[in-house]
Amino acid sequence: MLSARLLGLTRFGIGVYCKGVGGPEVARDGGNAVGEADAHVLSRLRVINEVSAAALEHPSREGTCQAVADAIARHFSYFEVNVFEVVGDKGELVLLAQSPKRDSARKVPHRQPIGVGLLGVAVRERRSVLANDVSRDGGHVLASDQEKLCGSELCVPVLAGDQVVAVIDVECCQANAFTESDRLALEAIARVVGLALHAAEVYETLERQVAELRDMQCQLVNSERLADVGRLTSRVAHEIRNPLSTIGGFAHRIQRRPGLDEQTARYAAVIVEEVQRLERLLSGIMDFVRPGQPEKRPVDINGILRRAVLVCEGARAGKSIRVEEDLAPQLPQAMADPDQIQQVFVNIIRNAFDSIKDAGTVTVGTRQAGAEIVVSISDTGEGITPELLSRIFDPFFTTKPGGTGLGLAVASKIVEDHGGRILIGSELGRGTHVKIRLPIGRQPFA
């Protein structure tokens, strides 16, 4: 029991000064003897101080709780010490720490309902609960049929402000194992643990915010670099386009010459084809680095998708490709730039047609999903391996001969600028499925 005479405790250097009422002043400095009761109190206070120090050493909630459980088990010699976190939004108590770690039915992260047993009383009534004979007092919740009933249990709530955030639960095998001294000691520890858990929460919040700020800084630096690269690329592309047009024009004139020999005609055709390929590449680069701000307005996605299919008709020439439509009637409008969104659909539909060698099916569909319109474009083509699929949006990455590798990169950038996203799934030999999710506009399209 705590000494009734002990009222104050102050540290001076390495000594501890204790003042009582109606009795002598004593100083514990390594030489003077103290009364047995006061020695017991000083021992408990020293333990409380050490446990509290352990609680404040760790910046994380889990680390704090485990340090407290270990320190309590070490100094108080209880059979088992558990620290439960109160997860109010889920109505649960989650075991965060246990000491000593033994082959117990309850292991981290054991969960149990918040409102049952002695733990539930401690949380609900915000007070410590002592059952010195569990078999008689009841209230202990068994984690499983294999768990043996303990003899004594003491549950002490941990408060941060006016909210119960955790519970310290200590158990002993024999009955009548706990005294009022145990209760007071654990309540003192619980107050410090509450401060430590609050500090840990603040620390974790600050850590997250610092990490987010670093990410934002990196993104800002990268965006500035990309902007510089974009301006340089745009200028280089513009400078290349003019002489390229001149070369292509002269090659066309050579092709139209009367009496042209076969070898010269073949060379001229190669020049024309290569110029056209480079012009497509330059157009793709310009679209990627300078797509322009989308001029958003309410648009009919079904209509744009149908036009995109018509634009791509040439890509399925000479193949037996069936196009199937599954368009939702009364589809709401999307807030989008119609020209840019059509470019997205065209790039993806052309890829779908190109992926089919001889015969197959391309299916285009639309539907509403909450506050989004989902456009799906799937094909029964060759499909893509998982390794290649992970690089599908990388600029200049292509699996097609003569491809620029910019179609999907441009499409992805446009959709992101519209506040949407593109999802692609594929299976080798079975085909590819693309989903484009776009925000809904204000008015339904009749």
Task: State the virtual CA torsion across 211, 213, 216, 217 in degrees, nearest 10.
Answer: -110
pLDDT for 105? 56
pLDDT for 169? 92
Answer whether 6-198 and 215-289 agree in fold.
Answer: no
Domain 297-444 carries which CATH code?
3.30.565.10
pLDDT for 1? 34
Task: State the virtual CA torsion across 156, 162, 166, 170 in degrees, nearest 10.
Answer: 0
**Bridge partners, 425 (sequence order):** 433
pLDDT for 227? 63
pLDDT for 167? 94
Distance CA 364, CA 123 (A): 56
pLDDT for 292? 63
Question: Could you tell me the residue ranges of all domains in the chain?
Answer: 6-198, 215-289, 297-444
CB 98 within 8 Å of CB 104: yes
CATH top class, domain 215-289: mainly alpha
Question: Taking the model in full, what pTM does it have?
Answer: 0.44
Distance CA 97, CA 237 (A): 62
CATH number 3.30.450.40 given to 6-198: yes
Low pLDDT (below 70) residues in the chain = 1-37, 40, 102-106, 137-149, 222-235, 238, 284-285, 287-292, 396-397, 399-405, 441-446
- The closest of 27, 24, 23 to 9, measured between CA atoms, is 27
Please name the residues in contact with 443: beta carbons below 8 A apart, sequence gap of 6 or more. 298, 332, 333
**Neighbour count for residue 440 (Cβ, 10 Å):** 19
Strand extents, DSSP E, 316-427: 320-326, 332-336, 359-369, 372-379, 421-427
* Token reading at 305: 């998708």
pLDDT for 287? 66
